[in-house]
Structure 1
Amino acid sequence: MRGVDDLADEVMKIGFACTRCGACCTEVSGDSNLVIVSPAEVRAVAGAAGIPADEVADPFPEYLDGEDGRRFTFDWCLRREGGRCRFLGDGRCRVYAARPWICRTYPFMLDGDRLIVSECPGLGRPIGREAAVALARALLDRQKAEAREEAGIRAVMEAVPVPSGSVAVIDSEGVWVVHG
């Protein structure tokens, strides 16, 4: 596992400063702006937006087919309207303080120990050491949160069957029938 300082050094070499352009919140192609969220993130965003949790996220749009007509997916995504995140308003995030890990760490993510960098107009801009360390910590925290969610999903899959003929989301907190 990478350390904070090593990761911060790499972020500083790449450089990043958010331009607040909103491009990451706007669909460029297909599902380019899908923001995968955990159940806890759905509740946090719902609280910040002052809306029910079931109005925050939709099932991840890729399903696996199982036996007996079962179809399932493993993730929730922030709801979009008109190709944009529904929480983007007047060029700003309306739930910024409660934004999900993906939004906090964009355009970076970790794949094991490898830093992955997505396209973003803010890349290549100078970033101070303090900001790079904060981003590195957020990336490592995100990686741990994602690992916990994956372990929770595995535990739910072992304990709770998807009902025959249904379409469901399996997350770390249960099996949620969404159609059928």
Structure 2
Amino acid sequence: MLGVDEIAERLGSIGFCCRECGRCCQRVGEDSNLVLVGAAELREIMAATGMKREEIVEPYPEFIRAGNGGEYTLAWCLRRTLDACIFLKDGRCSIYEHRPWICRTYPFMLVDDDLIISECPGLGASISPSAARDAAADLCRRQAAEAEEEAEIREIFRETEIPPGKRVVIDSEGMKVLDG
């Protein structure tokens, strides 16, 4: 697993400075701005906004058949308009202090021992060693949070029976049966 110092060094050589352009929040393709959120992130956004779960998230769009007519998915995504994330207001994130890990660490992501870099106009800009270290620490925290979320979902999935004919989301807090 990559450590903070190694990641910070790589980020320093790549360079990055967020331009606050909001492009990462805008839809340019079918799922180009699909933002997965964990249960804890969702609770934080709910507390900060006073909004209900169904106002903030929608089920991850790919469902798996359970064999009894039921279907399940294992993630939530922030709701989107036809153009952008619902929290992009006047070109800015309206939940910036409570934004999910995926937004907080964009355009970077850790997958095992690989640093994945998404397209972003801020790449190549000068980054201070302390900013690179902060970003690297966030990437490590994100990776740990996602691993914990996945482990909890796996455990809940093992103990869960999908209701026949229903669509559900299984997250780290349990199974949620969807209306309709």
The normalised TM-score by structure 1 is 0.97
Could you tell me how far apart the structure 1 residues matched to 2:18 and 2:119 are? 12
Counterpart Cα distance in 2 of 1:11 and 1:28:
26
- Give ranges in structure 1 of 5+ residues lacking alignment: none
Q: Which amino acid aligns with 1:92?
A: R
Partner SS, residue 9 of structure 1: helix
Tell me which moved more, 122-131 or 38-47. Answer: 38-47
3-state secondary structure, aligned to 1:68: coil
Deviation of the 1:52 alpha carbon: 2.0
Q: What are the Cα deviations for residues 48-69 of structure 1, in whole angstroms up to 9, with x where unaligned?
A: 2232233111000011112111
Q: Corresponding residue for 1:35?
A: 35
Matched residue type, 2:122: G
Q: Distance in 1 between matches of 2:159 and 2:169?
A: 14
Structure 1 residues 19-28 or 38-47, which shifts more? 38-47
Q: Does 1:16 align with 2:16?
A: yes
Distance of 2:171 and 2:47 partners within structure 1? 20
Within 1, Cα distance between the matches of 2:126 and 2:49? 32
Q: Which residue of 2 aligns with 1:140?
A: 140
Question: Which aligned runs of 4 or more in structure 1 are off by greater than 4 angstroms?
Answer: none
Alpha carbons 1:168, 1:179 under 8 Å: kept: no
Corresponding residue of 1:151: 151
The AA in structure 2 aligned to 1:86 is I
Residue 80 (structure 2) aligns with: 80
Unaligned runs of 5+ in 2: none
Map of 1:121 onto structure 2 = 121
Q: Identity over the aligned pairs, expressed in percent? A: 51
User: What residue identity is the alignment partner of 2:40?
Assistant: A
2: CA distance, partners of 1:128 / 1:178? 46
Q: CA deviation at 1:21?
A: 0.7
Aligned length: 180
Query: Equivalents in 2 of 1:111, 1:149: separation in Å?
Result: 15
RMSD over aligned Cα atoms = 1.0
1:49-128 to 2 correspondence within 5 Å?
49-128=49-128
- The match for 2:5 is 5
